C-alpha cells in the first residue's frame, strides 16, 4: 500500500450469503472486533435485499454499503433488474462490476461491464471493477494481455475525473474460493501492471491515486503480507468477509499498514 497517494479499501463481497435479519448481529459483532479506523475505507457489498439493513446498521460502525450488481440500463422494462439511480437513492456508495462469477454464470461481456461502470459513475456510485485471468490463461502466459484488455475495455469512455471514483480489483479466477491465494509477488506483479496500464491511458497522477485491490482467498492469515505490497491498496474479500472476527483482522492489518 502507498497511503500517501491513495485510499486503502477493505471491501467484503458477501455474494449470495446472509439474510437481511442476519445483518444487524453481524455488524455488531464486527464493530466490537474491528479497530478504530484510520485512513481505511471499509465496505460491505451485500445482496440487494440486504442493502437497507446494511445502510442502517453499518452507519454507526463506519461501514460503507456496496451492491454486488447493477443494471446497465437507466430504467424501463428489465424485469428483476436494479438501476444505478435506485442504489444511489438508498445511499449505496460502491458496486461491484465485472466479477468473474457474473462474467461466467451470467455471460457478462466486457462491453456490458463498461456500460454498468458508466451507469454507476453517472449516478455518483464508485464501481469496483474486477479483472482477472483464468488458470489456463496464466499457464499460457496470457495474464498480462488479458488484464490489459479487461482494464481498457472496462474504462472505455471514463475520463480522468471519473477514474478517481473507480476502484480496480485484481481477482485471479483460480484464487477465488479455492483457498489458493496468489503469492504476494504474483498479486503485486499484476497490480503494478494495472497501474501502468492506467498510467498509459490517464498519465502519472491518476495512476498514482487509483486504489487497486487484490481479491482471491484473502484471509486473516495472509492479508498483512499482501497489503504490504506497494501496489496493493486493499482487498476484495469473499469467504472471510462472512466471519466478523476474520474480517476485523483483515481491517486491522490494513490499519496497521496505515499507521
Query: Which residues belong to the active site?
Result: 99, 171
Using rule CB under 6 A, residue 124 touches ligand 13P: no
Closest CB to ligand 13P among 171 and 188?
171
Q: Rounded to the nearest whole angstrom, what is the least distance from the CB of residue 213 to ligand 13P in the complex?
A: 9
Binding ligand 13P by CB under 6 A: which of 98, 206, 216, 234? 216
List all residues 6 or more positions away from 133 whose beta carbon is below 8 Å from its beta carbon. Answer: 142, 143, 146, 147, 172, 173, 174
Asked if residue 236 binds ligand 13P (CB under 6 A), the reply is: yes
What are the counts of helices (DSSP H) followed by strands (DSSP E) for the chain?
12, 8
Residue nearest to ligand 13P (CB): 238
Q: Is 142 helix (H, G, I), strand (E, B) or coil?
A: coil
Beta strand 63-67 with 126-131: parallel, antiparallel or unpaired? unpaired
Q: What is d(CA 193, CA 211) in angstroms, rounded to the nearest whole number?
A: 13
The owner of cell 476484495 is 236
Task: Give the helix, strand, coil percentages of the chain, each rounded to 5.
Answer: 50, 15, 35
**39, 157, 177, 230: residue in contact with ligand 13P (rule CB under 6 A):** 177
| Range in contact with ligand 13P (rule: CB under 6 A) among 28-36, 170-178, 182-190, 251-259 | 170-178
* Smallest separation, CB 169 to ligand 13P (Å): 7
Give the residue, chosen from 207, 218, 223, 229, that forms a contact with ligand 13P under the rule CB under 6 A.
218
Residues that bind ligand 13P (CB under 6 A): 13, 99, 171, 176-177, 215-218, 236-240
Amino acid at each position: 500500500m502507498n497511503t500517501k497517494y491513495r485510499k486503502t479499501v477493505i471491501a467484503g463481497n458477501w455474494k449470495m450469503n446472509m439474510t437481511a435479519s442476519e445483518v444487524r448481529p453481524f455488524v455488531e459483532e464486527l464493530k466490537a472486533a474491528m479497530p478504530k479506523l484510520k485512513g481505511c475505507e471499509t465496505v460491505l457489498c451485500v445482496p440487494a435485499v440486504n442493502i437497507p439493513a446494511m445502510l442502517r446498521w453499518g452507519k454507526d460502525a463506519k461501514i460503507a454499503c456496496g451492491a454486488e450488481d447493477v443494471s446497465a440500463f437507466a430504467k424501463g422494462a428489465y424485469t428483476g433488474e436494479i438501476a444505478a439511480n435506485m442504489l444511489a437513492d438508498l445511499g449505496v456508495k460502491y458496486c461491484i462490476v465485472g466479477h468473474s462469477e457474473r462474467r461466467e454464470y451470467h455471460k457478462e461481456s466486457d462491453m456490458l461491464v463498461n456500460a454498468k461502470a458508466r451507469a454507476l459513475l453517472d449516478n455518483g456510485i464508485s464501481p469496483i471493477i474486477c479483472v482477472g485471468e483464468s488458470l489456463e490463461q496464466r499457464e499460457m502466459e496470457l495474464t498480462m494481455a488479458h488484464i490489459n484488455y479487461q482494464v481498457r475495455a472496462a474504462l472505455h469512455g471514463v475520463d480522468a475525473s471519473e477514474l478517481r471514483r473507480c476502484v480496480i480489483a485484481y481477482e485471479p479466477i483460480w484464487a477465488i474460493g479455492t483457498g489458493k491465494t496468489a503469492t504476494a509477488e504474483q498479486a503485486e506483479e499484476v497490480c503494478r501492471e494495472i497501474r501502468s496500464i492506467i498510467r498509459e491511458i490517464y498519465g502519472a497522477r491518476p495512476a498514482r491515486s487509483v486504489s487497486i485491490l487484490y481479491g482471491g482467498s484473502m484471509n486473516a492469515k495472509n492479508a498483512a503480507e499482501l497489503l504490504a505490497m506497494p501496489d496493493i491498496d486493499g482487498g476484495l474479500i469473499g469467504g472471510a468477509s462472512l466471519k466478523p472476527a476474520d474480517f476485523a483482522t483483515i481491517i486491522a492489518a490494513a490499519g496497521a499498514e496505515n499507521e
